[in-house]
Structure 1
Amino acid sequence: MADEPVNVRTIPISTCALSLTDATWRFAEENAPAIDAYWRQASVERPKLFNGVIHLLSSWQLIEDTFVGTFLRTDFKSFLYWRETGYAETGVKDAFGSSLIRAADGAVLLGCQTEGNMNSGLAYPPSGMIDAADAGPNGIDIDAHILRELNEESGLRPGDLTRVPGYLVTLAGALVSIAIEWRSALEAEALRARILEHIHAQATPELADIVIVRRREDIDAVNVPPYARALLGRILRA
């Protein structure tokens, strides 16, 4: 049976307060030549990758039941180099929003990313990096970010689901997942079929398949990253 990974913890919270800073990421500046060389090679091997603006979590704290965080701006190629060379300790975290999609029968649906993308081969809750579209004068709108990623990957909208209040923040080394749980009135197979219809209608879908997880033992049957394993363990216990 799959247990919650060691040194990974999930914290239920009520609200998020996520601001932006103008500070630069010293790691990107100090490693610019290596980053550029790595990106040239990665672009050839994985032409689907795009070097856009993203945001990394530069500081955070829990104040009662609020997750308070600050994000700095960088580019995807610097992030990719940092991630794929082992997440060196640089004072930042790879923070992102996730959607836990729960069917009427209690099963959780995970997405499997298409080949050539950064998370190819993994099964995980629909999610994505926090990019320029998520940043505004009031900081990071995490709910809008999560909804955008959910719709892009699954085709589901707020009217299709019921939002469970609050968030589940999972701390897993260099990764921080900020998740919303969604409930569907559809059974798992019907919900999977609906999402697959959306995927098959797309010219360049982000997801290749949808996996149904009904019990904790099912987690071991797919390649689930540690943060998602912890989230699933918590949800399926409930």
Structure 2
Amino acid sequence: MSFDLPRNVILPVDAVDIRLDPGPHPFAVDNAEAIAENWQREIAAKPALFDGMVVLLSQLAYRDNRLVGRCHAVNYSTFMLWRKRRENSGAEHAYAHAVLAAGDNALVAIRMGSHTVNAGRVYFAAGSFEPIDFRDGQVDVDFNMIREVREETGLDLSDAPRGKRYHVLSTASGTVMFRRFHETAPAEEIARRISAFVATEAEPEIEGPVIIRHAADLPDGLAPHMKPLVEWHFAGVD
């Protein structure tokens, strides 16, 4: 198992080749009892948690502007224990962000709902890769981005213009792949649409939208990985 990519630096990515291995992740096999015990504690604290399927990496490398990796489907309960034991676990987490840029160049992020694991955190609408995000065993990053944005905000980015390539930022806590998606409406209008959608949801995942207007406009609760992405956007990189 290997993870071979620079940390804490934004890198351009022209292709993503992350494959879904049908076998179990060794972390899930080796920690089955601890996973079950930890899950009981997690749902006691947050009963709304759902033990669905996500993926964890067992390999990821950056070569010639390409991301190449292998991952395995695991229960969310496995992911929750991994969060506590990630160091030297033989597993890592990757996810994707649609960097939503409004017509006035402001960014529109979201604040997570109080019943979620990341309650109060601010980042771009996103979620872990799931088996549904894979086509013929290979991850479809844009499908994941568009699906998660639609589920959390009600916005459909299927036809939105997007950046010519992905970028990636890998830290000790995870690896985020991101791409700029452009909306013509100003940020206030996009935020209004998101708020209207949230108001119709019985159990919305998010508390609501958060507008970021410049590189120093860092809201309370901003996830640590977001500051470099905000600076990247307002620097005009693509």
1:125 is matched with 124
Instruction: Work out which structure has the larger RCO, using CA pairs closer than 8 Å and 6 or more positions apart in sequence.
Output: 1
Residue 233, structure 1, aligned to residue 237, structure 2: no
What is the rounded CA distance, in whole Å, between the counterparts of 2:85 and 2:221 in structure 1?
19
* 2:54 partner letter: I
Q: In structure 2, how many angstroms separate the alpha carbons of the residues matched to 1:148 and 1:141?
A: 11
Task: Determine the structure 1 residue equivalent to 2:174.
Answer: 175
Q: After the TM superposition, which residues 1-238 of structure 1 pair with which residues of structure 2 at under 5 Å, given as runs?
A: 8-83=8-83, 85-158=84-157, 161-219=160-218, 221-238=219-236
What is the rounded CA distance, in whole Å, between the counterparts of 1:14 and 1:26 in structure 2? 30
Deviation at 1:23, TM superposition (A): 4.0
| Structure 2, unaligned runs of 5 or more | 1-6
Q: For this pair of structures, how many residues does the alignment match? A: 230
Counterpart secondary structure, 2:37: helix
In structure 2, distance between residues paired with 1:222 and 1:56: 29
Structure 1 position 26, deviation (Å): 2.5
Deviation at 1:93, TM superposition (A): 1.3
**8 Å CA contact 1:111, 1:124 repeated in 2:** yes
Q: Which structure shows the higher helix fraction?
A: 1
Q: What SS class does the counterpart of residue 186 from structure 1 fall into?
A: coil
- What is the deviation of 1:160? 6.0
Query: Do the aligned partners of 1:112 and 1:208 also contact (CA within 8 Å) in 2?
Result: yes
What RMSD, in angstroms, separates the aligned Cα atoms of the two structures? 1.7
1:172, 1:226 within 8 Å by CA — same for their partners in 2?
no
Matches of 1:11 and 1:154, distance apart in 2: 28
Amino acid corresponding to residue 60 of structure 2 in structure 1: W
Structure-2 separation of matches of 1:200 and 1:12: 37
**What is the TM-score with the length of structure 1 in the denominator?**
0.90
- CA distance change for structure 1 residues 45 and 195 in 2, over 3 Å: closer, same or farther? same
The percent of aligned pairs where both chains have the same amino acid is 24
CA distance in 2, matches of 1:49, 1:114: 12
Secondary structure of 2:61's aligned partner: strand
Q: SS in structure 1 opposite 2:68?
A: strand
Does structure 1 retain, via aligned residues, the 8 Å contact 2:23–2:72? yes
The aligned amino acid for 2:102 is A
- Report the equivalent of 1:3: none
Are the counterparts in 2 of residues 167 and 178 from structure 1 also a CA contact under 8 Å? yes
SS at match of 1:212: strand
Cα distance, 1:159 vs. partner? 5.1
Aligned 8 A contact 2:146 2:158 in 1 = no
Matched letter for residue 43 of structure 1: I
**Distance in 2 separating the partners of 1:128 and 1:136:** 18
Unpaired runs of 5+ residues, structure 1, are 1-6
**C-alpha displacement of 1:87:** 2.2
Question: Does the residue aligned with 2:164 lie in a helix, a strand or coil?
Answer: coil
Report the Cα offset of residue 204 of structure 1.
1.7
Letter in 2 for 1:232: V
- For 1:194 and 1:27, locate their aligned partners in 2 and report how far apart those are by CA, in whole Å: 41
Shift in Å, 1:135: 2.9
On the 8 A contact 1:127/1:150 being kept in 2, the answer is yes
